[in-house]
Structure 1
Amino acid sequence: MARTAPLTTRVLLTCAAIGVATGALQAGAGALSGVIVATWPILYGLVLGIHVLPGVIAQELLRQPWVALLTHLIAALVASAVVPVWIGRYIGTAILIGLLQEGVAALTRYRRWEAWRFFVSAVVVGVVIGAAIWFAADVTQFREWQQVVYVALFVAGPIAWTAVGLGIGGALRRAGVRPQVSQPPSSEG
């Protein structure tokens, strides 16, 4: 007996809708990040944290494997259409964050969807990105306390945007947006 594919057309279309909306937000955040880096670079982590939104909303709404990664990739393509010069950054960030979110969900065998699991994922994303930025950016331009705040905001940003994503995903779920995945027929006759 054939099993129902986990990524049905309804699920794919839902991921696409979330990806388009969050991709537009990411493109806007990309434009804003240029201003932030030029004026208040210490706040960059808060802006960059928006990149967790596609996966958080998709996982909170759909609660199944691969939706975070797929939605991140769609969002990256949308953002890249707006800012084509950053396609590598958007795709790379989508793969990194999508895989980290999928990895944390996989550790719970895609069975735990409480808020704490999403916040663990946000901390993991924040630590990984904060560590990468520590080595990539010239953090020595800041005083020591500013260096600590700079890196801390790379963790706080994903946590804050995860809270926003959980709110959006929960609201969509309560509104009945979640596609109903049909179960395969029982073998009992």
Structure 2
Amino acid sequence: MASASRLSTSVLLTCAAIGVATGALSAGAGAISGPVSAAVPILYGLVLGVHVLPGVIAQELLRRPWVALITHLIAALVASAVVPLWIGRYIGTALLIGALQEGIAALGRYRRWEAWRFFVSAIVVGVVIAVPIWFAADVSRFPVWGQIVYIALFIVGPVAWTAVGLAIGAALRRAGVARSAQR
């Protein structure tokens, strides 16, 4: 476990900044998810994958317990301010993905921060989300190749967005954001 269980104000403010930025992105993804689902439903998994960003960036940058869940919840509140009707969806998604990311980090006792751990988390998130979506979107109506691609993109989406999040987190770390947040 990390040595301190309490989070400093600077860590919380860093989570808030990441949450605001990724919340705006989540609201944008929410805005295009309807048209994408209607016009090209097979690509919906790529759009939905953006929701892994808050936790990935926060964990890559801060490497502390609870930062993924806190950042996800802040992002959900920001996205909900843009689309209040979807507050339940945003909060539910934040709790689900944030809890999965925290759980996988906790399995390594918050000591394993290699990229592979984030990608395992992304695959788990993709699978967990793909299962209920299979039924909600009636994926069985697609031809077999469409079913395979649809589900594969629910895994590829979070993995691709995780790579983006790792790059952003690493860039913020190189810029010194993590040092100021650890004080």
TM-score range, shorter chain: over 0.9
What displacement does 1:50 show? 0.1
CA distance in 2, matches of 1:137, 1:67: 32
Identify unmatched segments of 5+ residues in structure 1: 183-189
Identify unmatched segments of 5+ residues in structure 2: none
CA RMSD, aligned part only?
A: 1.2
Identity across aligned pairs (percent)? 77
What aligned pairs does 1:11-26 form with structure 2 within 5 A after superposition? 11-26=11-26
Deviates more, 1:128-137 or 1:85-94: 128-137
**1:132-174 C-alpha deviation (Å, 9 max, x unpaired):** 2112221122111101110110000000000000000000000
- Contact 2:24–2:79 (CA<8 Å) still a contact in 1? yes
Q: 2:61 aligns to what?
A: 61
What aligned pairs does 1:169-180 form with structure 2 within 5 A after superposition? 169-178=169-178, 179-180=180-181
CA distance in 1, matches of 2:95, 2:61: 20
TM-score for both structures, normalised by structure 2: 0.95
Q: 1:166 aligns to what?
A: 166
- Contact 2:55–2:67 (CA<8 Å) still a contact in 1? yes
TM-score for both structures, normalised by structure 1: 0.92
What displacement does 1:180 show? 4.4
- Contact 1:18–1:58 (CA<8 Å) still a contact in 2? yes
- Contact 1:77–1:91 (CA<8 Å) still a contact in 2? yes
Secondary structure of 2:177's aligned partner = coil
**1:85-135 C-alpha deviation (Å, 9 max, x unpaired):** 100000000000000000000000000000000000000000100112112
Matching residue's letter, 2:16: A
Q: Does 1:6 align with 2:6?
A: yes
Higher CA-based Rg: 1
Q: 1:113 aligns to what?
A: 113
Task: Select the structure that is richer in helix.
Answer: 2
CA distance in 1, matches of 2:4, 2:65: 14
Report the number of matched residues. Answer: 180
User: Are residues 141 and 82 of structure 1, via their aligned partners in 2, closer, same or farther at CA, if it must alter by over 3 Å?
Assistant: same
Secondary structure of 2:182's aligned partner = coil
- Contact 2:60–2:113 (CA<8 Å) still a contact in 1? yes
